[in-house]
Structure formats: C-alpha cells, structure tokens
C-alpha cells in the first residue's frame, strides 16, 4: 500500500464513507488515502504496520488522554489508563476473565441463550438484534457481575441510551435522557458494590472488592470498571452476533457448512470478527511529535487506529476481504493489541460460539426476508446493524 494519499480528504470524510452497506468499499475508501493521513482535525492510521506501531508504543499514543474527552466522573478502568497504573489493574483483572473461568460459566450461558431462542423458535421469524443480540450479552454481563437477571431489560435500556450519546463517534453535551440513564446506571451499580462489600460472592465485582494492600482499588475505580465493562462488553458482542448471522443468512452454502460441521464455528467467528470489527476505529492522543509511515503527527493530535482497515491488509492473505475458514488462524486486530488488548476477548469469543451453536441447534435453516438489505448504523462509535430480521420454518429443529 502506498504511503502518499491518492486524494485530499474533505470535510465529512468519515460520514461520506460507503460503510453502511459494504464494509469492503468502506475500508477501501479509507485505505486509498494512505497508511497515515489527516482529515477533519483527526489523524487516521490504516495500515497493519502503522496500527501495530501505535499498539507497541502506548507512551506515544495515549489511551488515557483519548478517553479524557468523555468527561466520565469515574476512571474507565483499565482502558482509560496508561502505564504504569495500567499494569496494576490488568494484574487483578486478567485472571478473572481467563479461559478456565469462562469455561466454568459455559453451562449456565448455554441455558440462558437457549431460553432466549426458544421464545421465538416456534414463530417462524425473529428480529435478531432486539430478540437475541441485545438480551443475551446483557445477561452475560449480569452473570459475570453477580447481578440479578430479572434486571436485564432496564439495565440494557440505560446502556442503550448512554451508548447512543455518541452515535457518530464524537461526544458532545449529553441530553437530559442520557444524564438520567447515566445516573440511574451509576446508582444501580453503587448499590450492588456496597452490598457486595459487606457480603462478597463468587463474581468479578466481589473479587475486586476483596483485594487488599497495594492491590486495593478505590470505590471510584471499581465503579469505573463496572461502567466500562458494561459499555464495552454489550454493544460489541451485540454487533458481532448480528454480523455473523447476517453473513450466514446471505450465504446458504457457508451456513450449511457450519451447521454440518459445528467445529468450524470458531473459525467462522474469527473471520467475521476480522472483517466486521465492532470497535473498528479506536481513539488515541499523541503525547509528542511522532513519525509513522513517513508522516509526522504533531503532539496532542487526535488519532484513530483503523483496525477495520488493518484487518483487511494484504498481509492476511490473497483474499483479505473474503471469509476464508481455511486460514482463520491468521489472526486479526479486532481485540486491539499491546497493553490495551481487550481483556474480555476470551469471554466474547465464547459468548459468540455458544450463541451460534445454540441457534443452529434449534434453527439450522434461515434467510433474510425478500428485499431486505442489512444496513450498518453509520456513522457510529460502534459498528452495528440497525436491525436483522430472519425468517425460517416455525419450530424448525434438527
């Protein structure tokens, strides 16, 4: 890929991207301007090499300074922290979301998602986003936190309002509805933190509250972790469930292959994560002048790491824009890289695998309604489908 832009980006550059209907066209639109370029007051890194450089140098590309713009009343632990504080948080958190911990939750999560799917399996149609992709990840977070599942709907309602405060990826003054939702969620979380401090259980919040000495967290840090995990762990998994089922509904041949060989589900998930990264533009702020791919980015600049573009680099293979189950192990940057690599990647992968396996166990044959064209909400801080209706034979079971 050439470093020099083929043209000068104009105002409204991101909004003008043809991302809503076709991510291949959308990311090609980004990449044609070069590995590193500036537009509308922000810098974009699109090549695999450029993004990896930023991941390897958190001292130059600050995550903490990027998230300062949110104006959060609590520290968004651990993503909005830089070294050395970041290491203290990750030492406590990584063991709590390790694969062995996630495996211990699998039976319960399978039961939960099965009950959600059973609610519409006999109807012959469903709207995936509202009926599966939103409620299931919400229940997973409640389970991880040791919170009651009956709070699912109001919990997600608050999160939905808060997330939509930055539909275009920017953050302005919150609306009264967003202020109310944020306060309601903070109050809800604080009440449970106080209760678990007195009577800890076997959940993530309780484990953090039991830390002592130099490892002990402040109340604001615990609350910030809860807030971040809620915001980051819901809409991204919601988006990925929609993208996976969208591709399978469009590709009957691929769907049959997955249904007949369930062991390929993991490979499929990796490929969809690579091609349809939900958090595809991650923010950073430069701490000093830095040269990347022959371009000098000034200190204090807003920078976006275009993970979605880097995931489609020719370095991934001859067909970087296509699903290739035979080469799914080639990796991707969807979960980030370096010290800020997503701590919940094991959980997200397992959530997705369980959801797709249980869906296919009950509904192996499905399609999009005639004439329906899936559309990305664009521009948006998180890439996700606005809706995904599916049709199938009522009670269709293998």
Domain assignment present for residue 182? The answer is yes
Evaluate whether 378 touches 266 at the Cβ level (below 8 Å): no
Q: Which two tokens stand for residue 110?
A: 């399978």
Domain assignment present for residue 7? The answer is no
Model pLDDT for residues 252-262, shown as the tens digit of each residue:
999 999 999 99
Q: Residue 73's pLDDT is what?
A: 78
Task: Look at the chain and report how many structural domains it folds into.
Answer: 1
Evaluate whether 281 touches 304 at the Cβ level (below 8 Å): yes
Residue 80 has pLDDT above 90, yes or no: no
Evaluate whether 309 touches 31 at the Cβ level (below 8 Å): yes
How large a percentage of the chain has pLDDT more than 90? Answer: 78
Domain assignment present for residue 335? The answer is yes
Domain assignment present for residue 109? The answer is yes
Residue 170 has pLDDT above 70, yes or no: no
Evaluate whether 311 touches 277 at the Cβ level (below 8 Å): yes
Q: Residue 91's pLDDT is what?
A: 94
Q: Residue 9's pLDDT is what?
A: 47
How large a percentage of the chain has pLDDT more than 70? Answer: 93
Q: For the domain that residue 96 is a member of, what is the CATH number? A: 1.10.630.10
Domain assignment present for residue 353? The answer is yes
Model pLDDT for residues 31-56, shown as the tens digit of each residue:
999 999 999 899 999 999 999 999 99
Residue 185 has pLDDT above 80, yes or no: yes
Domain assignment present for residue 262? The answer is yes
Q: Residue 396's pLDDT is what?
A: 52
Q: Residue 29's pLDDT is what?
A: 96
CB atoms < 10 A from the CB of 180, how many?
13
Domain assignment present for residue 325? The answer is yes
Domain assignment present for residue 85? The answer is yes
Model pLDDT for residues 101-144, shown as the tens digit of each residue:
999 999 999 999 999 999 999 999 999 999 999 999 999 999 99
What distances in angstroms separate CA 158 from CA 179, 180, 369, 378, 389, one per listed residue? 10, 8, 30, 21, 24
- Supply the range of the domain harboring residue 26: 13-391
Alpha-carbon span 332 to 340, nearest angstrom = 15
Residue 171 has pLDDT above 70, yes or no: no
Q: Residue 150's pLDDT is what?
A: 96
Q: How confident is the model at residue 395 (pLDDT cuts 50, 70, 90)?
A: low
């Amino acid at each position: 890929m050439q470093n020099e832009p083929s043209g000068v980006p104009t105002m409204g550059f991101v909004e003008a991207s043809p991302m809503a209907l076709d991510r291949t066209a959308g990311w090609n639109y980004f990449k044609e301007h070069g590995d590193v370029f500036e537009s509308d007051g922000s810098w974009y890194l699109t090549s695999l090499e450029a993004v990896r450089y930023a991941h390897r140098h958190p001292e130059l590309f600050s995550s903490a300074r990027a998230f300062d713009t949110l104006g959060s009343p609590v520290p968004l632990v651990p993503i909005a922290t830089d070294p050395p504080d970041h290491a203290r948080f990750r030492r406590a958190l990584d063991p709590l979301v390790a694969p062995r911990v996630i495996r211990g939750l699998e039976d319960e999560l399978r039961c939960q998602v099965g009950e959600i799917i059973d609610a519409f399996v006999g109807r012959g149609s469903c709207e995936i986003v509202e009926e599966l992709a939103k409620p299931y990840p919400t229940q997973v977070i409640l389970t991880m936190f040791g919170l009651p599942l009956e709070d699912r709907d109001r919990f997600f309602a608050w999160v939905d309002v808060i997330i939509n405060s930055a539909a275009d990826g920017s953050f302005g003054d919150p609306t009264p509805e967003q202020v109310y939702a944020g306060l309601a969620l903070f109050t809800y979380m604080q009440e449970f933190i106080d209760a678990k401090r007195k009577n800890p259980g076997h959940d993530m919040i309780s484990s953090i509250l039991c830390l002592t000495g130099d490892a002990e967290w402040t109340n604001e840090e615990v609350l910030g972790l809860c807030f971040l995990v809620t915001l980051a762990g819901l809409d991204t998994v919601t988006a990925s469930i929609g993208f996976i089922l969208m591709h399978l509904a469009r590709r009957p041949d691929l769907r049959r292959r997955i249904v007949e060989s369930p062991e390929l589900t993991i490979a499929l998930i990796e490929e969809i994560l690579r091609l349809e990264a939900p958090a595809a533009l991650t923010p950073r702020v430069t701490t000093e002048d830095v040269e990347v791919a022959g371009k000098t980015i000034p200190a204090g600049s807003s920078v976006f790491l275009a993970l979605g573009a880097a995931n489609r680099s020719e370095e991934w293979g001859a067909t970087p824009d296509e699903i290739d189950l035979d080469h799914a192990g080639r990796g991707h940057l969807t979960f980030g890289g370096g010290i800020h690599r997503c701590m919940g990647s094991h959980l997200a992968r397992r959530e997705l695998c369980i959801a797709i396996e249980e869906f296919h166990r009950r509904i192996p044959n499905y399609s999009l309604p005639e004439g329906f064209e899936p559309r990305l909400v664009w521009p948006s801080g998180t890439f996700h489908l606005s809706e995904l209706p599916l049709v199938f034979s009522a009670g269709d079971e293998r």
